[in-house]
């Protein structure tokens, strides 16, 4: 038995009244009011507005020329700046070269001066040594020349004072200290020049006949001052005016010896 079925045959007389409609050819791509294109029921494509600036060749050329001009102006400005910087760098380089040259010259002069200073310092050292030797020799000569001299200080000055008057003062003093002397025992005698107006009683320098006589003279002076409370005064020189003025007698020291005594203190 056959299982194959066949559709039933339709009657040719059957007439179905089917209505036919015409289709829109752009149905699948209708444009909405919002500017969107409906491709189908589920896909919508947005309609883009064409760019006017790209669409015009003249506007693009203007834009390109403006860019070229801007780049050219920037390049020109940078070139000017680079030229200015280069010029200044060249000036700095020249200035540095001059400074280096000046420093080199100063260095050479400094070395030259240092050499001269070293020579002068060596010469000064030798001069100091030579001066020290000369000072010692002068000191020896002064000691030799003053070995028989004594100083009499604070003696009132007479109106008319001569060498004979000064010698007579020394002889009167020798009698007061009980030392036998004559005018021949006095080789020389004089007053020093006053040091300014404030010095009214300049020192009297007496050069005796010998160093031994000077020693005896100073010894008797020390003994007299030790034995008498009033010590030596102007009256012991035979002076009648200002006779109570104290006088001071010592050996005549050289300037160097006097400085040493002052620095050594009492």
Give me the percent of the chain exceeding a pLDDT of 70: 76
- Separation CA 115–CA 108 (nearest Å): 11
Residue 46 pLDDT > 80: no
Number of neighbours of residue 207 by Cβ within 10 angstroms: 17
- Separation CA 217–CA 224 (nearest Å): 11
CA distances from 20 to 16, 17, 23, 27, 223 (A): 12, 10, 10, 17, 180
Tens digit of each residue's pLDDT (9 = 90 or more) over 174-226: 999 999 999 999 999 999 888 776 667 899 999 999 999 999 999 999 999 99
Give me the percent of the chain exceeding a pLDDT of 90: 47
Please tell us whether the domain made up of 148-264 is placed in CATH 1.10.3720.10. Answer: no
CA distances from 45 to 29, 41, 51, 154, 179 (A): 9, 11, 18, 140, 156
Check if the beta carbon of residue 224 is closer than 8 Å to that of residue 177: yes
Residue 151 confidence (pLDDT) = 93
Tens digit of each residue's pLDDT (9 = 90 or more) over 47-63: 555 555 444 678 888 88
Q: What is the pTM of this model?
A: 0.54
Residue 11 confidence (pLDDT) = 52
Highest mean pLDDT of the ranges 29-38, 126-135, 156-165? 126-135
The three state secondary structure string of 159-183 is: CCCCHHHHHHHHHHHHHHCCCCCCH
Query: DSSP E strands: which ranges in 40-137?
Result: 44-46
Kindly list the domain boundaries of the chain, sorted by start residue. Answer: 148-264
Residue 41 pLDDT > 60: no
Residue 39 confidence (pLDDT) = 53
Taking residues 21-35, report their average pLDDT. Answer: 50
DSSP run (H or E) holding 116? helix 57-145
CA-wise closest residue to 168 among 39, 147, 106, 176? 176
């Amino acid at each position: 038995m056959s299982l194959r079925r066949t559709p039933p045959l339709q009657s040719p007389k059957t007439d179905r009244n089917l209505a036919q409609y015409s289709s829109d050819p752009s149905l699948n791509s209708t444009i909405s009011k919002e500017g969107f294109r409906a491709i189908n029921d589920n896909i919508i494509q947005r309609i883009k507005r064409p760019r006017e600036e790209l669409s015009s060749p003249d506007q693009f050329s203007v834009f390109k020329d403006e860019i070229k001009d801007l780049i050219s102006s920037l390049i020109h400005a940078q070139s000017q700046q680079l030229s200015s910087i280069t010029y200044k760098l060249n000036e700095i380089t020249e200035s540095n070269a001059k400074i280096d040259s000046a420093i080199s010259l100063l260095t050479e002069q400094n070395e030259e001066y240092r050499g001269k200073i070293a020579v002068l310092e060596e010469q000064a050292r030798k001069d100091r040594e030579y001066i020290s030797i000369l000072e010692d020799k002068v000191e020896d000569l002064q000691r030799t020349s003053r070995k028989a001299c004594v100083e009499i200080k604070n003696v009132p000055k007479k109106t008319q004072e001569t060498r004979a008057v000064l010698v007579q003062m020394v002889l009167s003093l020798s009698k007061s200290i009980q030392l036998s002397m004559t005018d021949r025992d006095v080789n020389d005698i004089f007053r020093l020049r006053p040091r300014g107006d404030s010095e009214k009683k300049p020192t009297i320098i007496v050069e005796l006949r010998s160093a031994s006589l000077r020693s005896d003279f100073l010894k008797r002076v020390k003994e007299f001052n030790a034995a008498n409370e009033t010590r030596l005064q102007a009256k012991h020189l035979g002076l009648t005016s200002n006779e109570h003025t104290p006088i001071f007698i010592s050996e005549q020291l050289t300037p160097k010896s006097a400085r040493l005594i002052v620095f050594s203190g009492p």
